[in-house]
Amino acid sequence: MPHTRYQTIEVAVPLPVDRTFHYSVPEPLRSSVRTGVRVLVPFGRRKVTGYVLGRAVDPSGELKDIIEVLDAEPLFTNRETAFYRWITAYYLYPLGEVIKTALPSGINIESRRKNVTNDDGSIFTHEHLTTGKGIRREKFYHAASGAADASGIRGAGARILLFLLENGEASRANIYEQFLNPSAPLKRLSELGLISVEEREVYRDPFREEDVIAETYLCLNDHQAAAFCRIAESVSAAEFSPFLLHGVTGSGKTEVYLHAIAHTLEQGKRALVLTPEIALTPQLVRRFRGRFSQGIAVLHSGLSVGERYDEWRRIRRGEVAIVIGARSAIFAPLENLGIIVVDEEHEASYKQSEGVTYNARDLALVRGKLEKTTVVLGSATPLITTFHAAKEGRIHYLPLPERVQGRPMPESRILDIRKLKGVTFSPELIAAIAENLEKGGQTLLFLNRRGFATFLLCKDCGHIYRCPNCSVTLTHHRAKQRHFCHYCDYSLPAPSVCPECNGTNIGLFGRGTERLEDEVRELFPDARVARMDSDTTSSRGGHARILKRLEDGSIDILIGTQMIAKGHDYPGVTLVGIVSADATLNIPDFRSAERTFQLVSQVMGRAGRGDSPGKVIIQGISYDHYALLRAAAHDYQGFYDEEIAFREDAGYPPFSHLAMVVISGTAEKAVEKGAQDAARSLREERESLKIRAEILGPAPAPLAKVRGRFRWQILLKARNRTELKRLLHTFQRNWKPPRILRTIIDVDPVDTL
C-alpha cells in the first residue's frame, strides 16, 4: 500500500525532554519513513533512536537529517500516538519514554555494531537496533514432489521420508524429537532432492504444554443476565461507556466477562482483559482458553522477553482476538477494540511505580474513550472513588449482590487479640482449624508479612537491626539463614554478632509467614501444610504448583501473604483465618482503611465458594476499627459511608485530586534543601497563577530512605484537576534542581509513602 512520503518529520526521543523534535528525511530514505517506525537521529553530539510521530507541522530553521530507518513495519499507529500523547500530558513524562515503555523490550533484543556512511563520506559506528533479531526462526522440512515414488532409500532416511510424507511437513525440532541422530539422513535426503528445507518465523508459545479443555457457558442468573444485557447493548452501540460491575466475592463476575467477550467477538471486535499480576493464574487463563479456542494472547511478567515479543507481534498483526494481561497490557496493540475489562479494579498494582507512573485502571477509561469502547471495571470492593463516580452517575452501576446458586456469604467473627500477649492463635481459631481438619475442609491462614521474625533486637544492649540503606528494620529468614531488608538487596548472615556490643543473644520478635508455618506444623502435626509467599513462589511456575496442590486437595492448610487473597476459586476452602489484620491498618497513608477493608474482604471471599458454607475468623488488635467491622459484616455500603465522610473532612479523593513531588538523593542535607526550594517555587507559582491548591510539606517521606536515597515529599491537593495540572507543568518547566537530586512527579499517587 502506498503511503505519504514525508520530507520532514516529528520525532520523539526517549530522553528527559519536554518536547518533540523535527528532522528532515533524505530522499533515499523517504520511501521507508512512516508514522510508527524508529529512526536513528543525530541529537546533540549523540546518535539516538527516535520514534516517528508523523509529518512535521510548521518545521522551522535548519533541520538535521535522520541517519537511518530502523524498522520495516510501523510499531505503532496514529491512534496509539494519540494515546501516548495523552499519557505524556497527564503524567508529565517525556513522550519518547512513554513510547519506549509501551513497546515490548523485545524489539531491542539484539543489537549489533554497524558502520554508517554519511553524505559527506564520513563514517561512524553505532549500535544498530534490529527488529528481526529477536524473532525466532525455525527450519521446516517437506517431502519433495515425487518423493513418494523414490526407491533405494532405506533405514533412517526412509523412515524420516515416510514421516514427512504422512505429516506434510515437520519442524527441525520435531524431527530431532522423533529420530535418533537424524542429521546425516536429512543431509542425504536433501542431496537427493527428496526433501526441501524452508526457514520460517515461529512464535514461542508459553502454553505449549497445557491441554485446553473446552468449557461450556453457564446459564447466567438474573443479576448476571441483567449486567450482561447492559454491557452487550453498549458493545453493540460502539460508544464509550464505562461500567462498574460490583459483585460480591463468588457472585460470578468472571462468567459475566466471558459472556460479554463472546458477544464482543460475535460483533467482529476484540477484547482486552486486565487483571492484577497476582490474579493472572493458570486457572483464569484456562477458563478463557476453554471458552475461546484460539486467538488469545497472554502478557505477564513470567514470560521471557522473547515470549512477550512474540505475543506482541501476534497482536500487532491482528492474529489475536483477546488479550489477557497485567498492567502493561493496557498498551497491547489491539485494533478494533470492543471491550476493555479491568478485573479487581481496586488493586494498587495497576499503578506503575517506576518511570512513567501510569495507572492502567485509569488508562483503560482513557483508551476506552479514545477508541469508543465499553469499559467494565469489576470488583467486590470497588475503590471509594469508583463507587462515588457510580453514585454520581458518571459510571453505570451493575450490582451482583449475591453469590451464585444461593450460596451464603461466609459466617465471620472478629476476635480481640490484645489479651493474647504475643501468642499467635486464639483458642477459638485453633478450635476452628481442628474442626475444619476433622471435616476434611481446607483452611487458608493469612498474614501479610513474610519471613520468620520481623523485628530483631540485641537482648544485651538493645541494638535494633536496621537496614543501612533503607529506613526499615531487617527481617529474619530462617530457611535462608539471613536477615533481609525487604526494600533493597541488603542482608546479613544469621546468626550474627551484635555490631554494637558483640553480643550473640538476638531476640527474634514479630511474626512472618515462615514462623507461622512452623507454629501450624507444631499444632497440627498430621495436617498437610504449605506456604505461599514470594519466598516460596520465586521459581517459574512456583505459584501455579502450590495452587494446583490446593486444587487437587493435597493441602489441608495453606499459609500465605496477600498472594492467597486474589481471584482464586477453590471450592474446598471452608475456613479462612486472618491471623493479624493490623499490619495494613497501621500504615500511615490515607488509603490504609480502604486497603485493609479490601484485603480482608478479598481474603474472606475465598471461604465457602463450594457446596459447603464457609467460616472466617479475623484476629486483630484494632478489632473495633470500622474497616474490620464492616468487612466482617460484608457491608460495603456501610464502609463506604464511613470512609467517604473521612475523605470529605480531610479533603482526599474523590473530593480532591492529588499529586506528589518526591525529591530524593544520597546527600541528606541536599535533599532537604532541594525539597524546601521545590516547595517554595510551587507556592510562588501557585500565587502568581492564582491556583487553588493546597501544598503540604515538604516533609520526609514515611519511608524516609530507600536504597540509600533519602526521600522528601510535597503533597498537592486541588479540587480542580486542570488547575493542578497547570501548576505542575509550570513547576516542571521552571524547576532546575542540582544534578545530584532526582525529582519525581507522581500524578494520582496510590499511596503517600
Residue ranges in 208-247 that form contacts with Zn ion under rule CB under 5 A: none
**Shortest spacing between CB 384 and ligand ADP, in angstroms:** 20
Q: Taking CB under 6 A as the rule, does residue 80 contact ligand ADP?
A: no
Q: Taking CB under 6 A as the rule, does residue 221 contact ligand ADP?
A: yes
**The three grid cell numbers given for residue 420, joined into one nine-digit string:** 493474647
Kindly write out the interface string for residues 430-469 of this chain, putting x where it contacts ligand ADP by CB under 6 A and - elsewhere. Answer: ----------------------------------------
| 650-to-350, 390, 590, 691, 739 alpha-carbon distances in Å | 25, 21, 9, 20, 36
Q: Taking CB under 6 A as the rule, does residue 224 contact ligand ADP?
A: yes
Identity of the residue, 465 or 640, whose beta carbon is nearer to Zn ion in the bound complex: 465
DSSP reduced 3-state for 238: coil
Residue of 35, 49, 108, 251 interacting with ligand ADP (CB under 6 A): 251
**Shortest spacing between CB 592 and ligand ADP, in angstroms:** 24
Q: Taking CB under 5 A as the rule, does residue 474 contact Zn ion?
A: no
Q: Taking CB under 6 A as the rule, does residue 255 contact ligand ADP?
A: yes
Residue ranges in 483-512 that form contacts with Zn ion under rule CB under 5 A: 485, 487-488, 490
**Shortest spacing between CB 473 and Zn ion, in angstroms:** 10
Identity of the residue, 6 or 452, whose beta carbon is nearer to Zn ion in the bound complex: 452
Q: Rounded distance, CA 130 to CA 124, Å?
A: 18
Choose among ligand ADP, Zn ion, none what residue 220 binds, the Cβ cut-off being 5 to 8 Å by kind: ligand ADP
**Shortest spacing between CB 485 and Zn ion, in angstroms:** 3
> What one-character DSSP code corresponds to residue 57?
S
Identity of the residue, 212 or 220, whose beta carbon is nearer to ligand ADP in the bound complex: 220
Q: For residue 729, give the H/E element and its range.
A: helix 721-734
**The three grid cell numbers given for residue 485, joined into one nine-digit string:** 531488608
Q: Taking CB under 6 A as the rule, does residue 602 contact ligand ADP?
A: no
| 468-to-16, 465, 664, 707 alpha-carbon distances in Å | 31, 9, 16, 9
Compute how many residues bind ligand ADP; rule: CB under 6 A: 16
Q: Rounded distance, CA 531 to CA 557, Å?
A: 8
Q: For residue 608, give the H/E element and its range.
A: none
User: How many residues in the chain?
Assistant: 753
Q: Rounded distance, CA 477 to CA 515, Å?
A: 9
Q: Taking CB under 6 A as the rule, does residue 252 contact ligand ADP?
A: yes
Cα radius of gyration rounded to whole Å, the chain: 29
Matching residue, cell 513510547? 99
Task: Tell how strand 241-247 and strand 374-379 pair up.
Answer: parallel
Q: Rounded distance, CA 655 to CA 676, Å?
A: 27
Q: Rounded distance, CA 646 to CA 594, Å?
A: 11
Q: Taking CB under 6 A as the rule, does residue 223 contact ligand ADP?
A: no
| 208-to-298, 307, 324 alpha-carbon distances in Å | 13, 12, 17
Choose among Zn ion, ligand ADP, none what residue 221 binds, the Cβ cut-off being 5 to 8 Å by kind: ligand ADP
Rounded to the nearest angstrom, the gap between the alpha carbon of residue 116 and the centroid of all alpha carbons in its chain is 40
**The three grid cell numbers given for residue 552, joined into one nine-digit string:** 487437587
Choose among Zn ion, ligand ADP, none what residue 57 binds, the Cβ cut-off being 5 to 8 Å by kind: none
Residue of 88, 254, 537, 713 interacting with ligand ADP (CB under 6 A): 254
**Shortest spacing between CB 744 and Zn ion, in angstroms:** 19
The dihedral through the CA atoms of 700, 705, 710, 711 has a sign that is negative
**Residue whose C-alpha is closest to residue 147's, from 134, 166, 131:** 166
Residue ranges in 229-248 that form contacts with ligand ADP under rule CB under 6 A: 247
Residue ranges in 569-588 that form contacts with ligand ADP under rule CB under 6 A: 569
Q: Which residues contact ligand ADP (rule: CB under 6 A)?
A: 218-221, 224, 247, 249-255, 404-405, 569
Q: Which residues contact Zn ion (rule: CB under 5 A)?
A: 467, 469-470, 485, 487-488, 490
